[in-house]
Structure 1
Amino acid sequence: MKKIILLLMFSTVIFSCKNSEEKNTETEETTVENVEKILAYKGDFINSDGAMVLMGPNFIYGVKRDLLSEGLAKQVEAVKKNDYDMVGVIVKGVVSKNTDKESEWDEEITIKEIMRVADKPSEVDIKLNETEKKN
């Protein structure tokens, strides 16, 4: 009789330990899913006609408006020479699907940290020559 009771107690301990391990695994998985991926992005920033855009070599993101992005816009404004100048920046942020119906961008970046703002505007890829019209 003692052996049966001992066997029941031993099996109860083993099953209860196994259940607690499964619960811990589930908790870790949900925690990992909720973590935002904050990455560094290097690109050209422009704030024109109310739209903020970060454009890199292989991406174009709309920039979510908040205090940090407004601060970046002010820093870039000090460097720009005209309204359509783009300024090189390095920022840390989170890219997500755009839920704003009015915005044209598929993805938007929420800036978490401004790492660097260039001293001068970026070089233009295509330069247009403007000539005066002669009557």
Structure 2
Amino acid sequence: MKKLVILFVIALAITSCKNETKKEDGSSETVENTQSKNTSLRTIEGEFLFVDGAGVIMGNNFIYGVVLNDMTEELIKQASSKQRDKFDMVPVVIKGEVNPKPEGSDVWEEIVTIKEIVKVLPPKGDEPIKIETGK
């Protein structure tokens, strides 16, 4: 009986842990099972851009539209303070729910609802190239 209880506790501990998957491109995505809400939050690493009322998070092999909510507004503020210009993509790590696009919508195939901002980093690489037009 004691062994059965121990096995049950170990099985419970394993299933409630984070599931982190390494992808071929080296990026990672973590899925956390939250027991209280019966939903799963993913930890997503990608580059965030918000232009003309629309936001996206793009990784090496995914692109998600972003649902506008309070956390998205906070992410926009944090990302815009790190952008060198308005088209700079800012590396972020967020936790959110990924769902298929709403029916009848012409947005990205999958959308993410941001639940937590983990990290916002400065843009990678050199300064963006600026092209000036002649007068």
TM bracket, shorter-chain basis:
0.5 to 0.7
List gaps (5 residues or longer) in structure 2.
1-34
Shift of residue 123, structure 1, vs aligned partner = 2.8
* Matches of 2:81 and 2:109, distance apart in 1: 29
Q: 1:66 aligns with which of 66, 69, 73?
A: 69
Closer/same/farther in 2, CA of residues 132 and 65 from structure 1, 3 Å limit: closer
Asked whether 1:84 is paired with 2:83, we answer: no
Q: How far apart are 1:48 and its partner, in Å? A: 0.8
**Structure 1 runs not aligned, ≥5 long:** 1-31
**For residue 125 of structure 2, what is the amino acid of its counterpart?**
E
Q: State the TM-score, normalizing by the size of structure 2.
A: 0.64
**Amino acid of the structure 2 residue aligned with 1:77:** S
State the SS of the aligned residue for 2:55: strand
Give the secondary structure class of the aligned counterpart of 2:80: helix
8 Å Cα contact 1:44-1:122 kept in structure 2: no
Deviation at 1:129, TM superposition (A): 7.2
Root-mean-square deviation (Å): 2.4
Q: What SS does structure 1 have at the residue aligned with 2:39?
A: coil
Q: Higher relative contact order at CA 8 Å, sep ≥6: structure 1 or structure 2?
A: 1
- Out of 83, 106, 125, which is 2:109 matched to? 106
Larger fraction in helix: 1
Identity %: 35
The total of aligned residue pairs comes to: 99
Which has a greater percent of strand?
2
TM-score by length of 1: 0.64
